[in-house]
């Protein structure tokens, strides 16, 4: 029996323009929008590092330098914090840069959410890797990514995180056509985009963590533009499902946070403010008074 493959690289897509948050995102990347005191993308990076990922490949564009600066050392800031005796804050900002090996690549090619994955091909080399979006994360113990990596360790095939959704979410999500496989793991036949409740093949949204083996790249390289003349990752995944076994891993426990639109973002901020050890108690009182 051959040596089992391990996943040590993550590709985070962070090249979108964030038009839903304009004018806020005119100069600030949407991935840097704060959730209490940390940007969205830091939660995603921390999930990766906590699951054993060693190299974080962030696919950006020319307006996303703030992301690179955030995960870098900041000598002037560190000097000021040290001088002021703010040891806790100093340790926190230093820890951010030390979390992983960060690599950045500019997105090139046609529009579409498959393009960032293809842009990372030379950095991924011939290894399995995970792809995550820069504006979504999942709060769970064990983490969403740990649950996916545990399944990959056993089955050594492409797999994708999934979550049970209500009927209204089936209008806006990719829903898996699935067959039972083992416990919370399903054979994935295809993903049906935004089918609505009447045509949805299941109640499982397939999104979040995309764990690929290198055989996704020949498919991506030959992928034809689809809807809106863009390259869609779901089209590549559906082709991959026809060629080999792919799995959908239903994530157990926790909560999914999508910060890609205003309402979802502000719901996320409220949730995290309420659970925050420093401001949570006062925020709860404040919201209660506002709503009564």
Q: pLDDT per residue over 171-184, tens digit each?
A: 988 999 999 999 99
- For the segment 248-263, the average pLDDT, to the nearest whole number, is 88
Q: Does some domain include residue 243? A: yes
Does the pLDDT of residue 17 top 80, yes or no? no
- The first and second tokens of residue 200, run together, are 């949805």
Count structural domains, the chain: 1
What pTM does this model have?
Answer: 0.92
- Arithmetic mean of pLDDT over the chain: 91
* pLDDT of amino acid 201: 94
pLDDT of residue 204: 94
Q: Which domain holds residue 45?
A: 9-260
Q: 157-216 pLDDT, tens per residue?
A: 999 999 999 988 899 889 999 999 999 999 999 999 999 999 999 999 999 899 999 999
Q: What integer pLDDT is reported at residue 184 of this predicted model?
A: 94
Per-residue pLDDT at 2: 62
pLDDT at 219: 96
Q: Which helix (H) or strand (E) holds 187?
A: strand 185-193
| 105 DSSP 8-state letter | E
pLDDT (average), residues 256-276: 89
2 found inside a domain? no
Q: Which residues pair with 249 in a beta bridge?
A: 161, 185
- Whether 288 maps to a domain, the answer reads no
- 64, pLDDT greater than 90: no
pLDDT at 77: 94
Q: Say what the pLDDT of residue 25 is.
A: 83
Task: Classify 215 as helix, strand or coil.
Answer: coil
Distance spanning both ends of the chain, measured CA to CA? 65
CATH code for the domain of 113: 3.90.550.10
Confidence of residue 81 (pLDDT cuts 50, 70, 90): very high
Contact 77, 42 (CB under 8 A): no
Whats the size of the chain, residue-wise?
292
| Residue 272 lies inside a defined structural domain of this protein | no
Residue 159 CA to residue 186 CA, distance in Å, equals 10
Per the domain annotation, does 54 fall within a domain? yes
Q: Average pLDDT in the 25-45 region?
A: 91
Flag whether 254 is in a domain.
Answer: yes
Residue 131 — φ and ψ, nearest 5°?
A: -120, 135
Please report whether residue 218 resides in a domain: yes
Task: Number of helices (H) and strands (E) in the chain: give both, helices first.
Answer: 11, 13
Q: What are the φ/ψ torsions at residue 2 (nearest 5 degrees)?
A: -70, 165
Residue 265 in any domain: the answer is no
pLDDT at 1 over 60: no
Compute how many other C-beta atoms are within 10 angstroms of the C-beta atom of residue 179.
11
Q: What is the pLDDT of residues 217-250, one digit of tens each?
A: 999 999 998 888 888 999 999 999 999 999 999 9
| pLDDT recorded at residue 288 | 92
Instruction: Decide: helix, strand or coil at residue 50.
Output: helix
For the residues 39-64, what does the mean pLDDT come to?
93
Q: Is the separation of the CB atoms in 172 and 148 below 8 Å?
A: no
The pLDDT-based confidence of 8 (bands split at 50, 70, 90) is very high
What does the block give as tokens for 73?
């050392």
């Amino acid at each position: 029996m051959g040596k089992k493959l391990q996943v040590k690289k993550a590709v985070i897509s962070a090249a979108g323009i964030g038009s839903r948050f304009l004018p806020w995102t005119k100069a600030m990347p949407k991935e840097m929008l704060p959730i209490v005191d940390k940007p969205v993308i830091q939660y995603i990076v921390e999930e990766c590092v906590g699951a054993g990922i060693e190299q974080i490949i962030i696919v950006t564009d020319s307006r996303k330098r703030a992301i690179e600066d955030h995960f870098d050392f900041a000598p002037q800031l560190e000097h000021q914090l040290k001088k002021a005796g703010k040891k806790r804050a100093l340790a926190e900002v230093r820890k951010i840069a030390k979390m992983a090996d960060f690599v950045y690549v500019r997105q090139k090619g046609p529009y579409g959410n498959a393009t960032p994955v293809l842009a990372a091909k030379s950095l991924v080399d011939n290894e399995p890797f995970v792809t995550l979006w820069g504006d979504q994360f999942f709060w769970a113990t064990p983490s969403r990514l740990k649950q996916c990596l545990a399944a990959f360790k056993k089955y050594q095939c492409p797999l994708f995180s999934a979550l049970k959704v209500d009927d209204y979410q089936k209008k806006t999500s990719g829903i898996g056509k699935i067959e039972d496989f083992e416990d919370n793991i399903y054979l994935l036949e295809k993903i049906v985009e935004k089918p609505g409740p009447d045509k949805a093949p299941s109640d499982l949204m397939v999104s979040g963590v995309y764990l690929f083996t290198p055989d996704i790249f020949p498919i991506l390289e030959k992928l034809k533009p689809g809807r809106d003349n863009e390259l869609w990752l779901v089209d590549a995944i559906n082709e991959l499902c026809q060629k080999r076994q792919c799995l959908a891993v239903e994530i157990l426990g926790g909560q999914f946070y999508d910060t890609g639109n205003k309402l979802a973002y502000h719901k996320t901020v409220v949730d995290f403010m309420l659970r925050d050890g420093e401001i949570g108690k006062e925020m709860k009182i404040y919201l209660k008074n506002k709503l009564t």
